[in-house]
């Protein structure tokens, strides 16, 4: 069944969206609120562990931000950001938004929350409306739109009628879905139509970043064919796909018969370099007049391997312990103790991951691979008492999920250095 596309006059809708805009006071407006004395101002956080970070905690990605920014603003190409867990993909998206948010409508969609076609519609459209409301300070827009998901049909119809434009149109589509008059596949198709209509209506370039995009294929493997149709037709809408599935990257973007072949530039996130990590940690600690030795910095990098989540965590643990003990310096011995403490914190997570995410053969591969930073396949097979050829499928699956990598010809290594060390200390050692 084809659903007629008949959104109201876009120019009228655009005016309506902004008629309730909240006006910011002039930047030079004098405030009578007294400034707090310095000793009452909350101290700046020294390190931030987890979540999305901004400068000064976001480091080492200037080149990636500049490159993707140029692609987006020139409308030259879409982008695929690929990298293992905890490498900083989501923080990169946040800082891309900071970089170009004034020039485009930058919408982030968390695909981990999408398990059903209606989720794709709900999360994508709501993110667009909420982002527009936040950027242009349009009072009540997202609240009225959200009525289509939870309010009665009558109330929801009234709410979206007050908005008008393509938001009213797509809201009506969802209300028809609630009444079983629209199918799931039609709902997905209409989501893409809304993206294009909304971009034309607000006369503003839209960038939509789908974080952990591999989750989209779980509920609808054919969804990337729909992406192709709409990516071809709307130059004012650019897409970013961010994830950790090499297999899906190849299947969707890199094979000649894939739906989005050569339609997006690949950006692989590598660990942050040692010099930059050491400079960052030293400078953060110096803010509290804490010194750290070169050996201690070397130890931090050797253990964390430049993964932002881990070196932020190590920095925080060292800072915390130094303050609690009333010291003003950090040595390599302190770093060893902090790393052991961090491993203890991750023990339950890593144990669950090892037991539940991998097959028995994959578990054995990881166990014996953890003995060294990199190993040859024949050495792993020998440790397992089997032939190298019998490990081919498992090695491929581990590579596709970015659990392991092949940094040099014939050698493999576990990408997450902290996970590797945990395996060596808790799984390999216990089986010796």
256 with 278, same domain: the answer is no
The tens digit of pLDDT for each residue in 210-224 reads 999 988 888 777 788
Distance CA 321, CA 96 (A): 34
Closest CA to 15 of 121, 142, 165: 165
Average model confidence (pLDDT) for the chain? 89
Q: For 400-412, what is the mean pLDDT?
A: 90
Does 36 reside within a domain?
no
Distance CA 159, CA 172 (A): 11
Our CA angle for 81, 51, 276, nearest 5°, is 70
Alpha helices (runs of H) in 241-307, residue ranges in sequence order: 246-249, 274-286, 294-304
For residue 190, pLDDT beyond 70: yes
Distance CA 140, CA 163 (A): 10
CA 41 to chain centre: 32
Radius of gyration for the alpha carbons in the chain, expressed in angstroms and rounded: 25
126 with 234, same domain: the answer is yes
253 with 283, same domain: the answer is no
Closest CA to 114 of 220, 192, 206, 227: 220
- Give the up-direction half-sphere exposure of residue 407: CA atoms within 13 A in the CB hemisphere: 11
Own/partner pairs, 369-373, CB within 8 angstroms, 24+ separation: 369/404, 369/412, 369/413, 369/414, 369/420, 370/414, 370/420, 370/421, 370/423, 370/424, 370/427, 370/428, 371/424, 371/428, 373/413, 373/417, 373/420
For residue 315, pLDDT beyond 90: yes
Residue 237, strand partner residues: 206
323 with 192, same domain: the answer is no
Q: Are 73 and 234 in contact (CB under 8 A)?
A: no
SS3 159: helix
Residue 297 neighbours by CB distance under 10 Å: 23
Q: Give the per-residue pLDDT at 290.
A: 97
For residue 354, pLDDT beyond 90: yes
Does 26 reside within a domain?
no
Closest CA to 125 of 230, 20, 196: 196
79 with 196, same domain: the answer is yes
386 with 343, same domain: the answer is no
- Model confidence at 342, pLDDT cuts 50, 70, 90, reads very high
Does 3 reside within a domain?
no
Residue 424 is given by DSSP the state: I
Does 128 reside within a domain?
yes
CATH number reported for the structural domain that contains residue 324 in this entry: 1.10.8.60
**Neighbour-count burial for 31-60, b at 16+ CB within 10 Å, e otherwise:** eeeeeeeeeeeeeeebbbbeebbeeebbbb
Question: 211 — phi, psi (to 5°)?
Answer: -85, 135
Q: For 327-351, what is the mean pLDDT?
A: 97
Give the pair of three-digit tokens for residue 242. Answer: 């961010």
**Measuring CA to CA, how many Å separate 149 from each of 119, 126, 174, 395?**
11, 10, 8, 44
Give the pair of three-digit tokens for residue 356. Answer: 């539940």
Q: For 320-333, what is the mean pLDDT?
A: 96
Choosing from 295, 325, 353, the residue where a domain stops is 353
- Which residues fall within 8 angstroms of residue 150, CB to CB, at 6 or more apart? none
Choosing from 319, 353, 387, the residue where a domain stops is 353
Distance CA 168, CA 148 (A): 10
CATH number reported for the structural domain that contains residue 69 in this entry: 3.40.50.300
For residue 249, pLDDT beyond 50: yes
Choosing from 268, 283, 312, the residue where a domain stops is 268
The region of weakest confidence among 22-36, 267-281, 368-382 is 22-36
Closest CA to 167 of 140, 135, 201, 123: 201
95 with 240, same domain: the answer is yes
Distance CA 424, CA 431 (A): 10
Distance CA 97, CA 405 (A): 30
The tens digit of pLDDT for each residue in 64-83 reads 999 999 999 998 889 999 99
Closest CA to 398 of 431, 370, 429: 370
64 with 134, same domain: the answer is yes
307 with 234, same domain: the answer is no
The tens digit of pLDDT for each residue in 17-56 reads 555 444 444 444 444 444 334 343 335 689 999 889 999 9
CATH number reported for the structural domain that contains residue 421 in this entry: 1.10.10.10
Does 340 reside within a domain?
yes
Split into its structural domains, the chain has a count of: 3
410 with 342, same domain: the answer is no
Identify the domain containing residue 340 by its residue range: 274-353
With both helix axes pointing from N to C terminus, report the angle between 184-202 and 10-18 in degrees, rounded to the nearest 10: 80
339 with 372, same domain: the answer is no
301 with 159, same domain: the answer is no
What's this model's pTM, rounded to 2 decimal places?
A: 0.86
Unique residue bearing structure tokens 């959104």: 7
Q: What's the chain's length in residues? A: 432
Q: Give the per-residue pLDDT at 114.
A: 93
Unique residue bearing structure tokens 């309730």: 20
């Amino acid at each position: 069944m084809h659903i007629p596309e008949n959104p109201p006059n876009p120019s009228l809708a655009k005016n309506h969206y902004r008629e309730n805009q909240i006006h910011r006071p002039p930047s030079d407006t004098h405030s009578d609120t007294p400034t707090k004395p310095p000793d009452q101002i909350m101290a700046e956080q020294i390190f931030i562990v987890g979540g999305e970070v901004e400068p000064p905690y976001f480091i080492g990605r200037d080149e990636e931000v500049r490159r993707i920014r140029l692609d987006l603003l020139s409308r030259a190409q879409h982008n695929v950001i690929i990298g293992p867990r905890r490498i900083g993909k989501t923080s990169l998206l946040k800082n891309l938004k900071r970089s170009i948010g004034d020039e485009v409508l930058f919408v982030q969609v968390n695909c981990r929350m999408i398990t059903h076609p209606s989720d794709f519609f709900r999360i994508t459209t709501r993110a667009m409306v909420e982002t527009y409301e936040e950027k242009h300070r349009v009072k009540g827009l997202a609240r009225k739109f959200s009525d289509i998901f939870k309010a009665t049909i009558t109330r929801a119809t009234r709410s979206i009628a007050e908005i008008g434009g393509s938001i009213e149109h797509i809201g009506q589509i969802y209300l028809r879905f609630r009444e079983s008059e629209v199918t799931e596949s039609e709902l997905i198709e209409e989501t893409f139509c809304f993206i294009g209509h909304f971009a034309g209506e607000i006369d503003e370039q839209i960038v939509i970043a789908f974080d952990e995009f591999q989750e989209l294929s779980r509920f609808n493997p054919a969804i990337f064919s729909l992406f192709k149709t709409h990516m071809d037709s709307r130059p004012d809408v650019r897409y970013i796909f961010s994830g950790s599935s090499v297999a899906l990257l190849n299947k969707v973007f890199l094979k000649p018969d894939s739906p989005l072949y050569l339609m997006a530039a690949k950006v692989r996130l590598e660990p942050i370099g040692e010099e930059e990590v050491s400079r960052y940690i030293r400078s953060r600690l110096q803010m509290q007049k804490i010194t750290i030795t070169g050996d201690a910095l070397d130890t931090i990098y050797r253990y964390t391997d430049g993964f932002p989540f881990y070196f932020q965590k190590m920095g925080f643990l060292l800072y915390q312990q130094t303050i609690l003990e009333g010291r003003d310096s950090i040595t390599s011995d302190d770093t060893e103790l902090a790393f052991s403490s961090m491993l203890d914190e991750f023990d339950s997570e890593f144990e669950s991951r090892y037991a539940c995410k991998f097959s028995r053969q994959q578990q054995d591969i990881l166990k014996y691979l953890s003995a060294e930073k990199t190993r040859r396949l024949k050495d792993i097979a020998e440790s397992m008492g089997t032939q190298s050829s019998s490990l081919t499928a498992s090695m491929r699956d581990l590579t596709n999920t970015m659990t392991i990598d092949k940094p040099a010809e014939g050698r493999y290594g576990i990408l997450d250095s902290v996970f590797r060390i945990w395996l060596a200390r808790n799984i390999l050692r216990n089986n010796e």
